[in-house]
Amino acid sequence: MNWVTHIINFLWGLWGWFCFVAACLITLLGALLVPGLHRRQKLVTLAARMVFVAAGVKVTIRGIDNLPTDSCVVVANHASYLDGPLLKGFLPARFGFVIKGEMRDIPVVHFLLRRSGSKFVERKEITGSTRDARQLVKAAQGGESLGFFPEGTFLLEPGVGRFRPGAFVAAIKGVMPVVPIAISGTRQMMPSRQFLPRMADLTIDILPAIAPGDDDFASTRKLAEACRQSILSVLDEPDLLDFES
């Protein structure tokens, strides 16, 4: 890679950050002034999508017809900080995403996410985790559409790890189908420990829904593994559970 390419990538990375910061400021203003959760969700969806459009990122969405029009739970692999904004921008606005509880410690971020319909899950403290899990089940039973990254975090190494049970408990309790989603390209665009994004094409594969009421998928473990294998079937990354002892 010559120095001209380095400069182009560097400038594009700065432009990408500028687009993201501008979208955040617009969204923050909207969260303060726009009444009604549904309107705020539409605003956040539009702002998130414009980050990728303004940066000239090619986003391909496949299988959109697999997404139910009624309430459902979506679960996606997690490879980058870009995964959340990407799905928020290109899925219907009605989805509220489940965010790690540590985001509560950042007041502005917590306010923005909460006002746009996001939910929070405590991962370290048992009492908080139990409380948050009950709230997710209540939201699911109330018919809210929820989005999860059930791996809980992402790593530098490619692959799909173990899925935590929260999304699948919520789906079973809320009697909602689970839609697996495979995200490709975000790890190449902005991998762990990298500050500036680099140019890459992104793909969202929305896979056939799995109904938790089916006998074969009655348990959270079976449902989680069925969704994980569905994602792995289209994702060009290894199964990290194969490397566990």
Q: Could you read off the pLDDT of 16-60 as tens digits, one per residue?
A: 999 999 998 888 888 888 888 889 899 999 999 999 999 999 999
**Number of domains the chain is built from:** 1
CATH (domain of 62): 3.40.1130.10
Residue 8 inside a domain? The answer is no
- Consecutive H or E run containing 46: helix 37-54
The region, left, alpha or beta by phi > 0 then psi within -120 to 50, assigned to residue 155 is beta
Q: Is residue 61 a contact partner of residue 114, using CB atoms and an 8 Å limit? A: no
Classify residue 75: in a domain, yes or no: yes
Domain coverage including residue 78: 57-243
Is this structure's pTM higher than 0.75? Answer: yes
Q: Is the distance from CB of 101 to CB of 128 less than 8 angstroms?
A: yes
125 occurs within a structural domain: yes
* 12 belongs to a structural domain: no
Q: Does 207 reside within a domain?
A: yes
- Is the separation of the CB atoms in 89 and 52 below 8 Å? yes
In a domain, 50, yes or no: no
- Check if the beta carbon of residue 73 is closer than 8 Å to that of residue 146: yes
pLDDT one-digit tens code per residue, 168-219:
888 888 888 999 999 999 999 998 888 899 999 999 999 999 988 655 556 8
